[in-house]
Amino acid sequence: MIRKAAVTTWLETRHDAVFTLYASFAAFAAYSCMYAFRKPFAAARFAGLEFFGMDYKTILIIAQVFGYMLSKGIGIKVISELTRRRRPFFMVLFIGAAEIALLLFFVVPPPANIVFLFLNGLPLGMIWGLVFSYIEGRNRTDIIALVLCSTFVLASGFVKTVGKAVMNWGVSEFAMPFVTGLIFFAPLLGCLWMLESLPPPTAEDKRLRTERIPMSGRERVKFFLAFAPGLVFMLAAYIPLTAFRDFRDNYMADIWQTLGKGGSSAIFTSTEAPVAVGVLVVLALVLLVKDNFRAVVINHLAVIAGFAAVGASTLLYEKAFLPSAPWMVLVGFGLFLSYIPFNGVLFDRLIAAFAYKSNAGFLIYVADFLGYLASVGVLAYKSIGQKGMTHVKFFIVSGYVLSVFGTAVMVLSLIYFAARRRTFRPR
């Protein structure tokens, strides 16, 4: 067996391109495997089941998202204080706990099994921060993070495709999530080994992107207050963005069913692949920008363009200028063009632009906690306050709100950071 230390040494002596390819694959594959423990159940419909006056699948989604949200809140402390030595232990622990919860979800009959979707989501919210901690603060973080973020588009659709295929084998809707997770457990361990073999950031990485350090509670408060107005504007954009993205992801099967294309197991992957390619091509242009603050500005503009694309494509669909499939692709493109920068690239460049020793995990987990809190609220509102509205109609209305509000607050964020750049002095 190849020793991890030997791979680390080999990577240290290779060209940047070799390291980038290796790290990109390891991060992408590791987080893709995580989706196999979180998202396959969304491919099932659980048709006809209702409890407590609510659709059973909606209750399951709320339970899992609530656990995921709490995980993000806990992660503000855990991930920001994370040390290198503890990462692999936590990764195996959290994934193992999630898979056990899926087993119990299958074994225990409904509605009692709802609690196990909550327990499934609780550890999984930590995985993003664990994976991202391996790649942040490097000269090549942008491209590695973009490849990693493509999992938001590709992996969710792919594991739903696998989940639907598992059900086609004769596995029940309740057993399918556990079986799907089992398929991906060994590959996940292999990806973790690859991540562990990555060498730490070099002196050149620290010079170009600022050293990344664990942050105490006092340091987190100090950092937030240093940029509070701009961060508040950014969070205000990300909160509804997360809720919209989560609604689309969780109800994709139902939306396609309403649009008349729910019979194909490949629909998830075939429509998400062009979204991933398009978003990666556009955001990859930021890699050409060496100046960190200029990259922050360009990322803001990309987020604003994404919000505009969501609103414009939805309007074209409603006016019958776009068929349903191209509309879903364009909404997905706009959504992820806005969503992906927040999950690493934007925060990583922001830290580097202001040369503030800290880590991106802190900002990512503050944003995610608030975003998933909003997601729980939106799911509850849809299932109780707007129970009669179809998923497609709710999706359309939400798209318009997101487009207008998100654009406004991101413009304010850009204005703030441009002004702050002229007055801030690194500490």
Q: Tell me: the pLDDT tens digits for 114-136? A: 999 999 999 999 999 999 999 98
pLDDT digit string, tens, across residues 317-328: 999 899 988 898
Give the residue-averaged pLDDT of 241-258: 85
Give the domain CATH number at 69. 1.20.1250.20
pLDDT digit string, tens, across residues 338-351: 999 998 789 999 99
- Whole-number pLDDT of residue 246: 86
The total number of structural domains in the chain stands at 1
Q: Measuring CA to CA, which residue among 316, 312, 330, 334 is closest to residue 271?
A: 330
How many angstroms separate the CA atoms of 427 and 355, rounded? 8
Within-domain flag for 63: yes
Count the helix, strand and coil residues of the chain and give each as a percent rounded to the nearest 5. Answer: 80, 0, 20
Which of 1-15, 152-166, 280-294, 299-313 has the largest mean confidence? 299-313
Q: Is 60 exceeded by the pLDDT of residue 427? A: no
Give the residue-averaged pLDDT of 217-228: 94
Whole-prediction pTM value?
0.82
How many angstroms separate the CA atoms of 409 and 405, rounded? 6
In percent, the amount of the chain with pLDDT more than 90 equals 54
- Whole-number pLDDT of residue 268: 64
The continuous run of DSSP H or E covering 55 comes out as strand 54-55
- Whole-number pLDDT of residue 132: 93
Within-domain flag for 1: no
Within-domain flag for 128: yes
Average pLDDT value over all residues in the chain: 89
Give the residue-averaged pLDDT of 97-109: 96
Within-domain flag for 2: no
Are 39 and 100 spatial neighbours (Cβ–Cβ below 8 Å)? no
- Whole-number pLDDT of residue 36: 92
In percent, the amount of the chain with pLDDT more than 70 equals 96
State the pLDDT confidence band at 269, using cuts at 50, 70 and 90: low
Within-domain flag for 18: yes
Within-domain flag for 402: yes
Which stretch of 1-5, 27-31, 162-166, 277-281 has the lowest confidence by average pLDDT?
1-5
How many angstroms separate the CA atoms of 28 and 143, rounded? 11
Domain that holds residue 100: 7-423
Within-domain flag for 83: yes
